Structure 1
Amino acid sequence: MYKKNEGIRNVAVLCAILLIFGIALFGCFGQIRNSLQQQLMSSIEGMAEQNEILIEKEVSTRFRLLSSLAREFSDGDESIFVDRLQGFVETYQFKRMGYIASDGIAQTTDGYHLDMSDRETFRQSMQGKQRLTDTFEDQIDGSDEIVNAFSVPVYEKDQKTVKGVLFATGRYEMFEGCLQNEIFEGQAFNYIVKMDGMIIAASGNSREWGIGKNIFTADISADENDDAAKSRMISDMKSGKSGYGMDPKRKEVSLYYYMPLKIEETGDEWYVVTAASESVLTNRMQVVMDAINSLIVIILVIISVSVGVYIYSWRKSKKELISLAYQDPVTLGDNFAAFKEKAKSKKDGAGWLAAMDLADFKLINSTCGVKKGDEVLRAVSEIFENEKGDNELVAHVNADRFVLFWMEENQDAIKERLERVIKKIEEIPERLEIPNLFPVFGIYHTMVLDEIDPLYGNAVLAKHQIKGRRDRHYMFYDELNHESIQENRELEDHFEMALEKEEFEIWYQPKYSAHTRKLVGAEALVRWRRQDGSLIPPLKFIPLFERNGNIIRLDEYVFRAVCRQQKAWQEQGQKMFPVSVNISRVSLYYSNVVEKYESIIRSYDLDSKYIQLEITESATIDNNEIFNLLEQFHTAGFKILLDDFGSGYSSLSTLNRMHFDTIKLDKSLVDYIGDDNGEKLLNSITKLAQSFGMEITAEGVETVEQLMFLCNLDCDDIQGYYFSRPLPVREYEECLKEACM
């Protein structure tokens, strides 16, 4: 009887243990699933935000182009103007562009003349509105190709009366390209939908929803009795809100996130929707499930032998499961979640938290492939792991971002370690046969590792201050000027409006012949005049825009403005002098920079001899393609000036390796005049440059003694306050008139 009761008790104990184990296992499984699901939803939201940025950027770029062309067309000839549009069709990948007169008759770049008076976009643009249509089938050429139409009003000279409409037909591939994704192995789908649920565009891999379908009538929820998800989505869209949706019963589209597209030209009725199938989560759970199944079999065997062994094994398995949630899938080291957990358990939190990423890492993924990019990340992670000391931490955050926690007493020790790992990272490209790597660090000193996110945010803020620069690898948070950061943010926020309102003015600093003292040209400089009339000096915004990439658009703005002004002077019969325009080193990193500038000057029908290009020598230091770019610019007919020669970057070997037409002696060299050694240096530099067939322009000339010395060196041109300060366009026009007298 006792044995029977004992057997029953043992069975009961085993059943209880199995029950407890089952409950614990289920809870652990659910916890991991929820964690993975949250990460998945966060990734979906991040993709939706990226899609929103790409779409809005593509749309705004094309509307800025059309608006700019519309302003130029205010007093232009229709037929000539339409012919000029062909270059923009190819550059901006339109299907066609055209002009619709006030009577509705349109001329297009592909040779069509047709009545478009019944088009809604025509009517609205004639009322002064910019419009972007939904996708529709192109009936003009009978191709039934899916397209969108962009339209802007064209005003009379008074800028009050609309005289016609400029339009461009965008190919569907523009939106489809913005919606492509590289995550979840193609199991994520992107859409642009209207507020009423109609799908305007879809990514190429989309299978369940397509163009022309309505996501609401397609039954978001598979359960006809549960319309909560659909109702919430409809309500959110009407209110302009973002939101999540989830339906595990649906296989193709079970997790989705929607957010509004801020495109006024569509009436703010467009939404971007990113969705993923249940298989994404299932696949991620498969590893966990396999481990759980194996553990169940092992534990059942162990239970039959000993309850104690079972308990031990269960605890061990739980520990292994939790570890799966904290391992980075690329580097196989700690992920950010693990970093946070380990930081919480550290008793001594005094040290240095560093945020690191690799400048232009996306170029490696795009040119060498994602697999090679992952190999690079593993190599970087290995360097950090080898550098990590006791009680120190390292983790891969995401993409090319890493976070480090080092324990050192002072900045000098941290700098020494940074220089060591930077050198090792810079050795990776030769070993893996990839483009050069440029690691960037932001470092924050902390006394307590309590809340990692704000500490990491401070390190990221420091890193962003040098992101895009090539002269520094790291910055400490203590170095930041927070008042300056706020001021820079305001300038960044106002940049788009400043371009639209043409707040950037072109000033001209005249250049004079060293021998005849006559005007021979000018350098175009940019000034930012705010609406209140105040001028922002270039040193305030040029370095900022070089870091955040806005300098590319500013360079193009200045180049267009100078071309437009030169063409106006030519048409007025004014004597023409060449004007040099600066191109920043950031602009030179884009492969199509030569084609872009050549296209702009051709659009103004202007001879390239009237526009020269100035490139600072610092731009030649870390750009391996600069030699080819110079040759391409020369082939296009541009003269190239080497600016700021002698400012600190100069290497005489540059004159031998690269073909420049003119070198501009920096003011720092000109200021040497009066010093014997400095004058010998100037004499040597000018003789060497002249022996290569280059002309010499001296910058910053302020005294007659400097002028006479430079004349004796056979310097060609003089630029500086001795002759003239930089002048607004009207004052420079007076110089042009005097030069013709």
Structure 2
Amino acid sequence: MNSYSYLDRKNITYLAIGVAVMALVSIFLLSAVSSISNNIVYSLIMISLLCFGVYVKWIHENTLRTLRDTERKLSNAEKEKHFMAYYDEVTKLPNERYIIERINDDLKSDASQKALLVFEVDRFSTIKSSLGTFYTNRLLALIAERLLKKLPHLVIGKLEEDQFLILSAGENDKEAFLILCKQLTELMEKPFCIQHFSLNIALNIGIAYYPEDAKSADDLLKCARFGMYEARNVPEQWAFYEPAMSYVREEQLLLENDLYNAIQNNELFLQYQPQLKLKTKHEISMEALVRWKHPKKGLIAPSDFIPIAEESGLIVPIGKWVLETACRQTKELQETLGHPITVAVNLSLGQLFHENFAEVLRSILKETKLPPKSLQLEITETMTMDKSFLMPILGELKALGITIALDDFGKGYSSLSYLKDLPVDCLKIDRDFVKNITENEHEPLVDLIISMAKHLKLNVVAEGVETMEQFNYLLNSECDAIQGYLISKPSSFETIMKNSKCLKANNLCYETQLEYYSLIKQIFN
């Protein structure tokens, strides 16, 4: 408005000057003797003044139009700036900053009980690594649409990459929130269709209360997240915040920080568990298993630090170290025994889809001088969700001359319709199926997997063999190899190397299957 007022005052000044000039000239001409030349001059002056008036009007209108456009652009920019500051770009939902400020404002005017529910999409990182950002962004947008449509009365917001929240004020008893949790779970049961994919998802839900659990908006959000992290470990996949969760999460964060330095400080090491061949006596195979010896806490179980490594992205450098170490140590064992040895190494999803993984592997094989046929890479069924992404990568790896095994087969998501198209060489039967084998009863799933693998011309390895009943059952089947505590627990490289040197000194020799079994025992025990 100030700009308009200034422009009006400026234009009025121009017009006043023009009118004054015209009046003075008119008085002068009228007082002079009338002549043709004076009339012509007078007419020219009048025309000039008229043109001047039109010009001033044009400037006025053009300037007003420019000012309006500028103000509209500024207004749109302010709205866009506000949206970027307080709303999520993908889902268009209020973001964390908006929710925090809203809670703080509510607390100033009303300190009554409030509850915050935070939930994440389970396995979101796996979906993103498999399908890419386009599909996960579309998935998040569809989740937001479904939430707004089915729960319009609730305050719904969007937090980090895969996290949402629901804010509730007033009386919030646990029973009401349990009902809400069930509603959310049922709401996500229907698959999300994105182009030619149909995605099924589950939620991990955490709930925290104000003022029982936290006294501020930031702490309330933190407590709800702690509950969400705990929900990952419980069958129902929701959890109310408890003070002990803070300690557990803080311990995990400290462990993650220590894991950053584990490689540089030589705290990681490998153990190897043999795979006993049942149909041949000419192959020695083993699986490399990463271990972590913490300087203060001692041995950390893989089940404790591998998920942290995957969540933080540390799995990529750790995985590379495992590959390099396994290839180098296997080559040393081959030279010591003078016999081919195959080593199997687990791959994470982050590793597999990391840029130039095939080139990294090629470089490792060249540097360690391990023959490609001596390396087997193990992938899980969850990695096979998107064949279009996986097939080119597996093709590059197979071109190097390595073999590929599908680990934990039977528990994942592989479809038999395209299993035959995957360039894999081996199926590893999950230990949960093997443990059900008894002396007097067949295990139909094990029989089915072995039969199917043989029709696809794939080798079969059974994991988790711990009893002679399981051993005898698999020995009499078409299973190619077994792995488990019955054969040997994982052994350190130093122990295996020491045993191998002793065997070499005593003339390594095995002619019968029994001698081969004995050899494996002597190397790995």
Q: Secondary structure at the match of 2:341?
A: coil
Task: Give yes or no for the alignment of 1:405 onto 2:193.
Answer: no
Task: Give yes or no for the alignment of 1:455 onto 2:220.
Answer: yes
What is the CA-CA distance between 1:341 and the residue it aligns to? 3.3
- The alpha-carbon distance between structure 1 residues 517 and 670, as it changes in their structure 2 partners (threshold 3 A), is farther
Q: Secondary structure at the match of 1:443?
A: strand
Query: Paired residue for 2:325?
Result: 561
Q: Secondary structure at the match of 2:496?
A: helix
Instruction: Tell me, in whole angstroms, the C-alpha distance in 1 between the residues paired with 2:403 and 2:131.
Output: 35
Instruction: Tell me, in whole angstroms, the C-alpha distance in 1 between the residues paired with 2:500 and 2:398.
Output: 27
Query: Paired residue for 1:287?
Result: 75
Q: Secondary structure at the match of 2:344?
A: strand
> Which of 367, 381, 384 in structure 2 is aligned with 1:620?
384
Query: Paired residue for 1:593?
Result: 357
Partner amino acid for 1:671? K
> Which of 141, 146, 149 in structure 2 is aligned with 1:386?
149
What is the CA-CA distance between 1:713 and the residue it aligns to? 1.0
What is the CA-CA distance between 1:507 and the residue it aligns to? 0.9
Query: Paired residue for 2:270?
Result: 506
Q: Secondary structure at the match of 2:348?
A: coil
CA RMSD of aligned residues (A): 4.4
- Residues 295-694 of structure 1 aligned to structure 2 (within 5 Å): 328=87, 330=89, 331=92, 335-336=98-99, 337-338=101-102, 340-341=104-105, 349-354=113-118, 356=120, 359=124, 368=134, 380-390=143-153, 392-396=154-158, 402-406=164-168, 409-423=175-189, 427=192, 429-430=194-195, 442-448=205-211, 451-463=216-228, 476-478=240-242, 481-515=245-279, 520-531=284-295, 534-570=298-334, 574-621=338-385, 625-647=389-411, 655-674=419-438, 677-694=441-458
What is the CA-CA distance between 1:493 and the residue it aligns to? 1.3
Instruction: Tell me, in whole angstroms, the C-alpha distance in 2 between the residues paired with 1:661 and 1:714.
Output: 15
Instruction: Tell me, in whole angstroms, the C-alpha distance in 2 between the residues paired with 1:340 and 1:284.
Output: 32
- Residues 164-183 of structure 1 aligned to structure 2 (within 5 Å): none
Identical amino acids, percent of aligned pairs: 27
What is the CA-CA distance between 1:673 and the residue it aligns to? 2.5
Task: Give yes or no for the alignment of 1:720 onto 2:508.
Answer: no
Partner amino acid for 1:499? I
- The alpha-carbon distance between structure 1 residues 437 and 722, as it changes in their structure 2 partners (threshold 3 A), is closer
What is the CA-CA distance between 1:730 and the residue it aligns to? 2.1
Greater shift, 437-446 or 451-460, is seen at 437-446
Preserved contact between residue 434 and residue 462 of structure 2 (Cα < 8 Å): yes
What is the CA-CA distance between 1:609 and the residue it aligns to? 0.9
1:466-499 deviation digits (Å, cap 9, x = unpaired): 79x9x99866545974443233222211112210
Instruction: Tell me, in whole angstroms, the C-alpha distance in 2 between the residues paired with 1:731 and 1:435.
Output: 49
What is the CA-CA distance between 1:649 and the residue it aligns to? 6.0
Instruction: Tell me, in whole angstroms, the C-alpha distance in 1 between the residues paired with 2:88 and 2:248.
Output: 39
Q: Secondary structure at the match of 2:259?
A: helix
Q: Give the length in aligned residue pairs.
A: 421
What is the CA-CA distance between 1:400 and the residue it aligns to? 6.6
Instruction: Tell me, in whole angstroms, the C-alpha distance in 1 between the residues paired with 2:231 and 2:362.
Output: 31
Query: Paired residue for 1:215?
Result: none
- Calculate the TM-score normalised by the size of structure 2: 0.66
Query: Paired residue for 1:304?
Result: none
Q: Secondary structure at the match of 2:379?
A: strand
Instruction: Tell me, in whole angstroms, the C-alpha distance in 1 between the residues paired with 2:346 and 2:236.
Output: 23
1:360-392 deviation digits (Å, cap 9, x = unpaired): 5998999659xx96x8776554443333354x3
1:280-300 deviation digits (Å, cap 9, x = unpaired): xx9999329999xxxxxxxxx
1:707-726 deviation digits (Å, cap 9, x = unpaired): 22222113222222222221
Preserved contact between residue 463 and residue 483 of structure 2 (Cα < 8 Å): yes
What is the CA-CA distance between 1:699 and the residue it aligns to? 2.0
Instruction: Tell me, in whole angstroms, the C-alpha distance in 2 between the residues paired with 1:593 and 1:455.
Output: 41
Instruction: Tell me, in whole angstroms, the C-alpha distance in 1 between the residues paired with 2:287 and 2:77.
Output: 68
- The alpha-carbon distance between structure 1 residues 453 and 698, as it changes in their structure 2 partners (threshold 3 A), is same
Partner amino acid for 1:287? S
Partner amino acid for 2:150? E
Unaligned runs of 5+ in 1: 1-281, 292-322
Higher relative contact order structure (alpha carbons within 8 Å, sequence separation ≥ 6): 2
Task: Identify the structure with the greater helix proportion.
Answer: 2
Partner amino acid for 1:446? Y
Instruction: Tell me, in whole angstroms, the C-alpha distance in 2 between the residues paired with 1:556 and 1:525.
Output: 13
- The alpha-carbon distance between structure 1 residues 458 and 332, as it changes in their structure 2 partners (threshold 3 A), is closer
Instruction: Tell me, in whole angstroms, the C-alpha distance in 1 between the residues paired with 2:156 and 2:94.
Output: 8
Query: Paired residue for 1:123?
Result: none
Query: Which has the higher Rg, Structure 1 or Structure 2?
Result: 2
Instruction: Tell me, in whole angstroms, the C-alpha distance in 1 between the residues paired with 2:71 and 2:440.
Output: 75
Instruction: Tell me, in whole angstroms, the C-alpha distance in 2 between the residues paired with 1:445 and 1:707.
Output: 50
What is the CA-CA distance between 1:626 and the residue it aligns to? 2.9
Query: Paired residue for 2:45?
Result: none
Instruction: Tell me, in whole angstroms, the C-alpha distance in 1 between the residues paired with 2:296 and 2:413.
Output: 38
Q: Secondary structure at the match of 2:420?
A: helix
Query: Paired residue for 1:300?
Result: none
What is the CA-CA distance between 1:563 and the residue it aligns to? 1.5
- Residues 15-414 of structure 1 aligned to structure 2 (within 5 Å): 286-287=74-75, 328=87, 330=89, 331=92, 335-336=98-99, 337-338=101-102, 340-341=104-105, 349-354=113-118, 356=120, 359=124, 368=134, 380-390=143-153, 392-396=154-158, 402-406=164-168, 409-414=175-180
- The alpha-carbon distance between structure 1 residues 673 and 283, as it changes in their structure 2 partners (threshold 3 A), is farther
- Calculate the TM-score normalised by the size of structure 1: 0.48
Greater shift, 445-454 or 433-442, is seen at 433-442
